[in-house]
Amino acid sequence: MLSEALLVSAPGKVILHGEHAVVHGKVALAVALNLRTFLRLQPHSNGKVGLNLPNTGIKRVWDVARLQLLDTSFLEPGDVTTPTPEQVEKLKEVVDLPEDSANHKGLAVLAFLYLYLSICRKQRALPSLDITVWSELPTGAGLGSSAAYSVCLAAALLTACEEIPNPLRGGESTSRWATEDLELINKWAFQGERVIHGNPSGVDNAVSTWGGALRYQQGKISPLKRPPALQILLTNTRVPRSTKALVAVVRSRLLKFPEIVAPLLTSIDAISLECERVLGEMAAAPAPEHYLVLEELIDMNQHHLSALGVGHASLDQLCRVTMAHGLHSKLTGAGGGGCGITLLRPDLELPDVEATKQALTSCGFDCWETSIGASGVSVHLDTSLDTPVQQALGGL
């Protein structure tokens, strides 16, 4: 067990194309976002394990000796294990969670305990430590906040337990793990996501782990080589929604109308592939026509997603408002509210972008202009970060 503190961070994501279809084996194109989640792990020897999530007001402490006595044999020692719904229920029972563990706060605690007990059980004794996690990402908005949380937890616990080395060398302020270590982080983070979301595709944790831009299909990850630096407006409609419930909406529509819904999923797959092709061309020689194709793909996919049942009046409003400024938008992530992305063509003048942002803000939406393709999970020198969220929380 390492004795020094660790500071890690992982990015959120936006899905350019392929959300929902990816759950049914189709291609998704996802990119890491310049908004991150941070985790500090402090080992100690006071016989306690603490979880502190200041963004959501969660502060929990457990006696390590008590956790040590729990019968967690159902977690199966050894390799990365997939939490079954029965195991998750059993875990709720044995750790005696008082709050409603079906809400996102309870699920965050449960995912932590699952990863802590599973990853640390190879140690002779469960370690005493404090974990604090804070984020620049809004929760429940489809930006992969839960995946960034699971990725940070997996990276920090695996490093603290010396299952993977700390890649930070003397003199460096930030570093990343080797490929095989990232693979292990990603596998464990996927299990954390399963505790939180039931049956996610794995795309969110993959992009948070690897960063950049990637194509994802049935667990197979291929980074996009030299993706163009696209600028987008990211808009949070602030309409809360549940990824789990929306994934279930699509599943039941597919079961009810297979002849109608399966072709929609196939068409979304074709949109992702066409987008990948265009991005490849743009990397070689960007031209204004490429942006026009990307805009058409955005419009078609937004209509498909509405037909799948994951649209929302707030998203329709977002598309109308941006269209009035000549810009094209689609939902990103699970839909049903949450976030949308708007492509910003390079020919746009600053006043046009500002006017669009202003119009969206006056609808009650939060709006950020951002670039995509941030780096994946990283470890930082503990004193090297001074993020806006950290400042707002009083320099944790």
Min. distance of Cβ 227 from ligand MEV in angstroms?
A: 19
Supply 61's token pair: 């402490």
CB nearer to ligand MEV: pick between 23 and 379: 23
Instruction: Given the residues 146, 201, 329, 378, select the one marked as catalytic.
Output: 146
Quick one: which of 62, 94, 102 has its CA closest to 75?
94
CB nearer to ligand MEV: pick between 19 and 276: 19
The span from the CA of 371 to the CA of 98, in Å, is: 41
Min. distance of Cβ 321 from ligand MEV in angstroms?
A: 23
The span from the CA of 192 to the CA of 22, in Å, is: 19
- Please say whether the beta carbons of 155 and 10 come within 8 A: yes
Min. distance of Cβ 38 from ligand MEV in angstroms?
A: 21
CB nearer to ligand MEV: pick between 24 and 176: 24
- Please say whether the beta carbons of 335 and 290 come within 8 A: no
How many CA atoms within 13 Å lie on the side-chain side of 31? 26
Burial degree of 368 (CB within 10 A; 0-12, 13-18, 19+): middle
Min. distance of Cβ 13 from ligand MEV in angstroms?
A: 7
Q: CA separation (Å) from 94 to 41, 64, 175, 187, 194? A: 24, 14, 37, 24, 19
Min. distance of Cβ 282 from ligand MEV in angstroms?
A: 24
The span from the CA of 209 to the CA of 212, in Å, is: 10
Residues that bind ligand MEV (CB under 6 A): 15, 19-20, 22-23, 142, 200-201, 203-204, 243, 247, 333-334
316 is an active site residue = no
Diameter over CA atoms, the chain: 64
CB nearer to ligand MEV: pick between 134 and 216: 216
306 is an active site residue = no
The span from the CA of 21 to the CA of 17, in Å, is: 9
CB nearer to ligand MEV: pick between 8 and 331: 331
Min. distance of Cβ 173 from ligand MEV in angstroms?
A: 30
CB nearer to ligand MEV: pick between 150 and 243: 243
Q: CA separation (Å) from 310 to 5, 33, 210, 301, 332? A: 42, 22, 27, 12, 11
Min. distance of Cβ 23 from ligand MEV in angstroms?
A: 5
Instruction: Given the residues 135, 204, 314, 329, select the one marked as catalytic.
Output: 204
Q: HEC profile for 12-27?
A: EEEEEECCCHHHHCCC
Quick one: which of 360, 247, 343, 380 has its CA closest to 31?
343
CB nearer to ligand MEV: pick between 132 and 332: 332
Quick one: which of 237, 63, 73, 50 has its CA closest to 141?
237
Local structure of 337: helix, strand or coil = coil
Min. distance of Cβ 161 from ligand MEV in angstroms?
A: 27
CB nearer to ligand MEV: pick between 72 and 205: 205
Q: HEC profile for 204-258?
A: HHHHHHHECEEEEECCEEEECCCCCCCEEEEEECCCCCCHHHHHHHHHHHHHHCH
Active-site residue set? 146, 204
